[in-house]
Chain A
């Protein structure tokens, strides 16, 4: 009894730990999906920009599907149908796979916008200095276009972090699922949702703070 806070009936310090751990799982699944999805999405965005016909015809419709079908449907469909083609993924891996493609689909558009934010005359100038196509892409287009779409990318990051809550439908105990478990047990929905909300805020706020700092540094 000693370590439970008595006036919150049934909600103890252990439960706080439980939520904290779940928040770390939310963070982990988000970090994985967002980093892989961003790399993949940047590649897709480059393909879309280059507009090589075959690649565009295959990638663009697939990305449209990931962008437009609600995430929760994608998750349930993938989790239930992947075993049929021999992919027995646990909820965590299924969640990462879907969130990764979802992130990639969103980042593809952002990345294409970034490449197109670099004026053609700038790219001609770097090529005229003798830079190869790839040198221009990495030393000029990436930093300039990247900064132009950084706020949009942060928007994707924060969105995916919140959307990762949907992986709970597969039974993965991240922050939202953990809250539901506790609510069922303690019958304290308001308190627990408030705490869960605070955790989400604690995850997102530093990101938007840092993002804001970077933007300010770049704009001077």
Chain B
């Protein structure tokens, strides 16, 4: 489980996260919505220590993420992450893209790493692309490749940061379908998203961020049906 307590994050003078408290349970799917600049991406980066924090704490399965003694490279294997930019490694084939980290980070043998890569690529529907190079894939395929690459590390949590925002509209569906599939399989997921339909259908809970504060969190029926906060209501009125 992920436990965030009184988390504060500053970029210089800019106070980006202002005391976030959040628990995410195993098997849960949490969607994070909010306007641009409200600190959603920064929150994800703080969860796997891609960003340092100034106050408060984050624990993942009891491990203090920001403690000096924590091995972040080990911790990050627990938390797969998918970004807005798909970031495929252009010099490696699709198969090698996925097999690289299991081999060099987890120390798997080449055969094991390849087997894991093949399994995860089939999982996201790229079973016929092993030998291709990423630049011959569409954006949607490359984003699914990024998902397979994260899954190959056998993470216990998946963090998605606007995984569909950079895609052509007709490619959004295939990536959302892959995310939906993971949710159905019981993966614990935190999805920063602008896809309200996805947030409504797939999430167990939805959190609305406003200027660095988690303004409201609750089941989708509450957030989309009867929001408690005036800010949430305004935001949703504008996106629809």
Binding site for B on A (CB under 8 A): 119, 121-122, 124-132, 135, 139-140, 143-144, 147, 218, 220
Contact = CB atoms under 8 A, between A and B. Distances in A.
Interface string B139-157: 0000000100110010000
A144 B105 contact: no
B104 A139 contact: yes
B90 A130 contact: no
Q: Tell me whether chain A's interface is mostly helix, strand or loop, or mixed.
A: helix
Contacts of A128: 48, 50, 76, 79-81, 83, 150
B60 to A, nearest CB: 13
Interface in B111-146: 133, 146
Nearest to A121: B85
Given A128-B76, A129-B153, A144 B50 contact: no
Interface in B21-75: 45, 48, 50, 73-74
A130 B73 CA distance: 4
B101 interface: yes
Given A124-B50, A135-B105, A130 B74 contact: yes
Contact of B73 (A132, A140, A147, A220): A132
Given A139-B104, A140-B89, A129 B149 contact: yes
A130 B83 contact: no
B91 interface: yes
Most buried by A among B85, B87, B106: B87
B116 to A, nearest CB: 13
B151 to A, nearest CB: 11
B100 interface: yes
B188 interface: no
Most buried by B among A121, A122, A128, A140: A128
B98 to A, nearest CB: 10
A126 B87 CA distance: 9
